[in-house]
Amino acid sequence: MGRVRIETDDSQAGLLTGQLLIAMPSMNTPYFVQSVIYICAHTPEGAMGIVVNRPLAAPSFDDLLGQLSVAPIPPARRIALFRGGPVDSARGFVLHTADWTGDGSLKVDEEVALTASLDVLKAIADGGGPEQGLLALGYAGWRPGQLEQELQENAWLTAPSNVDLLFDRAHETKWRRAMATLRVDPSLLSSAVGHA
């Protein structure tokens, strides 16, 4: 998995760290159609998030542990694998509840953390680790100002995060349920940019 250093600047009020990005119905970028993304870091230098509704059938969690030489196999516990985004898809990130943190963990908020070191996989394989989590291969990333521009172009809606929505296994309905948290009917949304 390797180590990734992600720093956040707490002095930047109003940024989207810890929020959900929900793709608008008009999103036509194939990778992001009806995606729900948890924003792990958002600073003036850019943004990074994990897609939480694109599970992977292969490799299996056991296969991945074998490739990384993490024992025991079979593990005492397993977590689901996801296609976390189109950037650096060979790198793994565990998005998990903040009841467990280890070396290199980024505590995103009071409920959620992100770990890119093998420590979390070893803990899960041994039967411990965070109560809930998912392993994402790759991530979604934005250059400085890019996410803000996409928001102005009505590509995304933002919503408060919800641990139950992040980690439940009803992946096929996450997009609609994320929309519902905003009391939004996707069929009534317009892709037109403008101000009333």
8-38 residue pLDDT tens: 444 444 489 999 999 999 998 989 999 999 9
19-184: CATH number: 3.40.1740.10
Work out the mean pLDDT of the chain and round it to a whole number.
88
The pTM (predicted TM-score) of the whole model is 0.88
Residue 49 to residue 95: CA distance in whole angstroms: 10
pLDDT in tens, 50-108: 999 999 989 999 999 999 999 998 999 999 999 999 999 989 999 999 999 998 899 99
| Phi–psi pair at 43, nearest 5 degrees | -135, 175
What length is written for the chain?
196
Half-sphere exposure at residue 137, Cβ-oriented, CA atoms within 13 angstroms: 16
Domain boundaries, the chain: 19-184
